[in-house]
């Protein structure tokens, strides 16, 4: 049996985040005796420290949070704790990969790195942070035995930048499909003062790269109903947008929702889904939305086009988004077909298992 360590996430059970959901579903779909997973978790982020979950062993790093500035020492300490006893190490994200030249002197077995979504291109980082992330990414590509890209746009970037082949493995989204009875869905809609098919919905972190300002401007102009779920109190950018658009009658700016029943109802009963992300590869929120068979209106960037196989509707400006809303698109079934073909967790878990078991 292969002993495999997974590092770079907050932990499981998943609280929030694409990588956490990825790990939860990889280990949950691991019905094969050839692989046994150990997941490294942040002791600071989990008050209750269980020893195992969905067949995986859990180990805790006590000193650091998994996110923010502490993510680098958190990942490095996780690496040091899996030098022995593991046939493969899977690193999710590049925050700690600046340490890989040293790690590879000490660990000679299989190393798999998912480089995530080109974090160094995000506007929120200063020059030093961008340099650090770019250098960490370069170390990941150089020292990994297997590089994972979650989107063909990322895969092409790795080849053009480093002349290295990356394996294309996206995310699943079928966990968003729940059996929520219609009566409960109607109660949830009533809570938000909306009716089925009479609103658009968007779910994301409120950051400039997600073009939240553009989406809000479009709906303020069009008068169409929008339910926008995100972390509206986290940054100056989000607070400024809430102050500017918070009083519009047709726009509901809802603080982050973690109740899957509520998210299911909002997505399942909406008229269309708005996806403003311009960075990050294959975005989990987009993949999840595709399973609901609603029209997708996505920002026109290569990552979103690859995820939706060029069959969604795309915009570059607020004006273009207004035009799309007024055109009343109705072809969401194409999105559902793509999702069921490419983005089920059983398939994603199989891809990871295959890469783990393949020869170096």
The reply to whether 163 and 181 lie within a common domain is no
**Residue 324, pLDDT above cutoff 70:** yes
The reply to whether 328 and 204 lie within a common domain is yes
CATH number reported for the structural domain that contains residue 37 in this entry: 3.40.50.2000
The reply to whether 162 and 293 lie within a common domain is no
pLDDT tens, position by position, 231-251: 999 899 999 999 999 999 999
Model pLDDT, residue 330: 80
Percentage of the chain lying above the pLDDT 70 cut: 98
Cα separations in angstroms, 184 against 142, 189, 191, 256, 260: 51, 9, 11, 20, 12
The reply to whether 276 and 188 lie within a common domain is yes
**Residue 354, pLDDT above cutoff 90:** yes
The reply to whether 286 and 270 lie within a common domain is yes
Model pLDDT, residue 126: 81
The reply to whether 330 and 183 lie within a common domain is yes
Number of domains in the chain: 2
The reply to whether 217 and 104 lie within a common domain is no
Model pLDDT, residue 43: 92
The reply to whether 164 and 185 lie within a common domain is no
Q: Measured between alpha carbons, how far apart are the two ends of the chain, in Å?
A: 17
Cα separations in angstroms, 266 against 19, 108, 235: 23, 48, 25
Model pLDDT, residue 120: 67
The reply to whether 162 and 49 lie within a common domain is yes
The reply to whether 259 and 338 lie within a common domain is yes
What domain range is 311 assigned to?
174-342
**Residue 279, pLDDT above cutoff 90:** no
**Residue 204, pLDDT above cutoff 70:** yes
pLDDT tens, position by position, 125-149: 788 888 999 999 999 999 999 999 9
The reply to whether 59 and 163 lie within a common domain is yes
pLDDT tens, position by position, 90-135: 999 999 999 999 999 999 999 999 998 777 667 677 888 889 999 9
Cα separations in angstroms, 338 against 283, 303, 304: 15, 15, 13
The reply to whether 86 and 74 lie within a common domain is yes
What residues form DSSP beta bridges with 296? 273
DSSP, collapsed to helix, strand or coil, labels residue 225 as coil
Provide mean pLDDT across the span 82-87.
Answer: 95
Q: What is the mean pLDDT of the chain?
A: 93
Long-range contacts, stretch 78-82, CB < 8 angstroms, 24+ apart:
78/5, 78/7, 78/8, 78/40, 79/7, 79/103, 79/107, 81/40, 82/5, 82/7, 82/38, 82/40, 82/107
pLDDT tens, position by position, 18-31: 899 999 999 987 65
Cα separations in angstroms, 95 against 81, 122, 166, 197, 228: 17, 14, 18, 41, 30
* Residue 140 neighbours by CB distance under 10 Å: 25
């Amino acid at each position: 049996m292969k002993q495999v360590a997974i590092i770079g996430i907050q932990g499981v059970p998943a609280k929030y985040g694409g990588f956490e959901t990825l790990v939860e579903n990889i280990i949950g779909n691991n019905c094969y005796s050839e692989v046994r997973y150990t997941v490294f978790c942040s002791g600071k982020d989990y008050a209750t420290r269980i020893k195992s979950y969905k067949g995986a062993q859990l180990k805790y790093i006590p000193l650091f949070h998994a996110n923010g500035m502490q993510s680098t020492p958190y990942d490095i300490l996780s690496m040091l704790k899996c030098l022995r006893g593991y046939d493969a190490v899977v690193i999710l994200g590049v925050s700690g990969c600046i340490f890989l030249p040293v790690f590879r002197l000490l660990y000679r077995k299989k190393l798999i790195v998912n480089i995530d979504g080109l974090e160094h291109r995000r506007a929120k980082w200063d020059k030093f942070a961008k340099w650090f992330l770019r250098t960490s990414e370069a170390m990941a590509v150089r020292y990994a035995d297997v590089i994972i890209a979650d989107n063909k746009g990322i895969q092409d970037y790795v080849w053009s930048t480093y002349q290295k082949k990356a394996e294309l493995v996206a995310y699943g989204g079928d966990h968003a499909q729940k059996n929520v009875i219609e009566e409960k869905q109607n109660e949830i809609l009533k809570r938000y003062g909306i009716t089925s098919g009479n609103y658009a919905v968007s779910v994301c972190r409120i950051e400039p790269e997600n073009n939240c300002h553009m989406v809000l401007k479009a709906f303020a102009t069009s008068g169409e109903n929008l339910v926008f779920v995100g972390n509206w109190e986290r940054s100056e950018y989000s607070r400024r947008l809430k102050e500017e658009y918070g009083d519009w009658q047709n726009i509901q700016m809802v603080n982050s929702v973690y109740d899957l029943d509520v998210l299911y109802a909002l997505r399942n009963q909406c008229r269309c889904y708005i996806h403003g992300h311009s960075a990050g590869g294959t975005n989990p929120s987009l993949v999840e939305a595709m399973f609901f068979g609603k029209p997708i209106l996505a920002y026109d960037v290569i990552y979103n086009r690859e995820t939706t196989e060029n069959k969604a509707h795309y915009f570059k400006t607020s004006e273009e988004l207004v035009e799309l809303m007024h055109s009343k698109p109705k072809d969401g079934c194409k999105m559902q077909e793509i999702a069921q073909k490419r983005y089920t967790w059983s398939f994603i878990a199989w891809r990871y298992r295959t890469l783990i078991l393949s020869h170096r």
